[in-house]
Amino acid sequence: MNDFARILAVDPGDKRLGIAISDFTGTIASPLCVLPHVSREEDARAILTLAEEKEASLIVIGQAVNWDGDISFQGRKSTRLAEKIRTLGSLPVLLWNEYGSTSAAINARRMMNVSRKKRAGHLDDLAATVILQTYLDSQSNLEES
């Protein structure tokens, strides 16, 4: 991973897209926002706009993979979103296994002592943060070996 490059991550869903961003060192992921799902093309344009505004050099999209390693129905939607982003923009787009990101987001809220009532809300931006942090950690581990 090159120094001073931000990475934007997306947790795509049927109703909302969770967005997270890394710091400029590519070490720490933070929630950025939640976008309403409109259409594949409009979603791709909104993601590219955010990536440009935040000076991202890479877009990571969470992709649901079944327990047996096959790409799920939802994962195929992620593939199509990635293809649309590539068609409309010039940034590299990477698909990343999002397995467990929602569970990790729920656990994060629990560990932050967020009340049960407030935990019931959407977790899209936190799930995107988990996706991005697992990607960043994997890259850090590669650099260390």
Q: How high is the pLDDT of residue 124?
A: 85
Q: Does residue 53 fall inside a structural domain?
A: yes
Domain count, the chain: 1
Q: Does residue 139 fall inside a structural domain?
A: yes
Domain that holds residue 24: 6-144
Q: How many CB atoms lie within 10 A of CB 95?
A: 17
Q: What is the mean pLDDT of each run of 10 residues along the chain (145 residues)?
A: 78 95 95 96 98 97 88 92 98 88 56 56 82 92 68
Q: How far, in Å, CA of 139 to CA of 125, rounded?
A: 21
Tell me, rounded to whole angstroms, the distance of Cα 109 from its chain centroid: 18
CATH code of the domain containing 29:
3.30.420.140
**What is the value of pTM for the model shown?**
0.84
Q: How high is the pLDDT of residue 78?
A: 96
Q: Does residue 75 fall inside a structural domain?
A: yes
* 3-class DSSP assignment, residue 84: helix
